[in-house]
Amino acid sequence: MGDLFQAPPNVSGQVGQPLAERLRPRKLQDVVGQEHLTGPNGALTRMIRSGSLGSLIFWGPPGTGKTTVARLLAGETELAFEQISAIFSGVADLKKVFEAARLRRSQGRQTLLFVDEIHRFNRAQQDSFLPVMEDGTVILVGATTENPSFELNAALLSRARVLTFQSLGEDHLSHLLARAEALEEKALPVDDGARTMLLRMADGDGRSLLTLAEEVWRAAGEEETFDAEGLLKVVQRRAPIYDKGQDGHYNLISALHKSVRGSDPDAALYYLCRMFDAGEDPLYIGRRLVRMAVEDIGLADPQALVITNAAKDAYDYLGSPEGELALAQACVYLATAPKSNGVYTAFKSAYRAAKEHGSLLPPKHILNAPTKLMKESGYGSGYRYDHDEPDAFSGQNYFPEALGRQVFYDPPERGFEREIRKRLDYWSKLRRERGEG
């Protein structure tokens, strides 16, 4: 395995620098964890070999090497490297960078402009990159932790290739930690359990791992070794990567919903706890569980809606952490309940029919006739009161005559809907026998 962060120990001028900075790779092929980009057949490696480097968007979680790779890429291609952050830069800063790049270009050297957090630029600011990208003044490399499809405008995306950076796996993080120990010339004072916990706390973020390791070294007394419990006291914990307004939020709620729909209570509980752990609003989760009850369980188990509503109310009454158990109970109930989207599908079909066919008048026999004129016009004429009919069923037509009888609801043979299916089949049989369709 190559070195994720390779730097000789005791490099001059590095005193006081953070560990992550001192361990930055010196060559592109030394980056580990992004072999699909920097390996022998990686996308960036092929670009460098071809001698054709275009503008790029690096998309991936924090601490996966986006800034480092951009710097190394400039070095490999002998481009001037400029770096700005969208958080701290405005239009004036961009103009200065563009002017410097134009001057270099007039002198025969191109510029690689690395823009960190590029998604934080507004649409107008993003548009300002287009002319300098098109005329070759800069090769833009933008870095973002957010989905470019949502955060970058179409014009910018059409001129750049998106490359995805992956979270670092435990093997990569373990190798990085070993490199840090070699640089520091001392082992991290943790036992095996605490080491595993530290790797998991890093959550695929190399920079976070090195920051946590530095905290451990600073906190450790002479000959002190931390176990898992001691480690938690030292570093507290790092919040999982989760932005409630962006991809992390939508990815986890999607995973929770699909696990419930797929009748996997264990996976559903896992994603539920991931969201709790990340600080998601439990009442939001409660509302989504109610949605699952009506979309994916429906009348296969009518109690699903009752239980999820009760769980939402229980959380609202109890608060955290006690109320979270009520939501967990509802989550497991939904995952283990019989599934049906019969009502959901029927509702969509009926809604479509209502929109497509306009304001059709219901058949007159089911309309009330409060006035003499309405009675004379046939309103209410021929209506049969179902409770007075055999089996309390008249079998009359209730659809507009211009539309004719429709079938939207087709319950499956699952859960309580088996009973509903029997009733519908029986009423259909009565209609045929009575000549009502």
pLDDT per residue, tens digit, the chain (437 aa), is: 444 444 444 443 455 688 888 888 888 888 888 999 998 889 999 999 888 889 999 998 888 999 999 999 999 888 999 999 988 888 888 899 999 999 999 998 999 999 999 999 988 889 999 999 998 899 999 999 888 988 899 999 999 999 999 988 889 999 999 999 999 999 999 999 889 889 888 888 899 899 999 999 988 888 899 998 888 888 876 555 555 555 667 888 999 999 999 999 999 999 999 888 887 889 989 999 999 999 999 999 999 999 999 999 999 889 888 899 999 999 999 999 999 999 999 999 999 998 888 888 888 888 888 888 888 888 888 888 889 888 898 888 888 988 888 999 999 998 999 999 999 999 999 988 877 65
Q: Is position 264 within any domain? A: yes
Residues 143 and 66 reside in one and the same domain: yes
Please give the model's pTM, rounded to 2 decimal places. 0.62
User: Can you give the CATH number for the domain in which 110 is found?
Assistant: 3.40.50.300
Query: Of 137, 164, 191, at which residue does a domain stop?
Result: 164
Residues 367 and 288 in one domain: no
DSSP code at position 371 = S
- What residues contact residue 293 under an 8 Å CB cut-off, 6+ apart? 304, 305, 307, 308, 334
260 inside domain:
yes
Domain total for the chain? 3
In the chain, the N- to C-terminal Cα span, in Å, equals 73
Q: Quick one: 332 and 360 in the same domain?
A: no
> Edge-to-edge, what's the strand order for the sheet holding 80-85?
80-85, 111-116, 138-144, 56-59, 161-164
Whether residues 95 and 46 share a domain: the answer is: yes
Q: Do 283 and 394 have their domain in common?
A: no
**SS3 letters for 117-148?**
CHHHCCHHHHHCHHHHHHCCCEEEEEEECCCH
Pair (155, 41) in one structural domain: yes
Same-domain pairing of 393 and 314: no
Pair 331, 359 in one domain: no
Domain range for 257 is 247-336
C-alpha span between 344 and 188 (Å, rounded): 56
Q: In the listed set 336, 363, 381, which residue is the last one of a domain according to the structure?
A: 336
Residue 180: inside a domain? no
Cβ contacts of 433-437, under 8 Å, gap ≥ 24: 434/395, 436/394, 436/395, 436/396, 436/397, 437/395, 437/397, 437/405
Residue 210 structure tokens: 């090195």
Inside any domain, residue 323? yes
CATH number at residue 270: 1.20.272.10
**Rounded to 5 degrees, what are φ and ψ at 237?**
-170, 160
Q: Is residue 26 part of a domain?
A: no
Decide which of 164, 189, 217 is a domain's last residue: 164
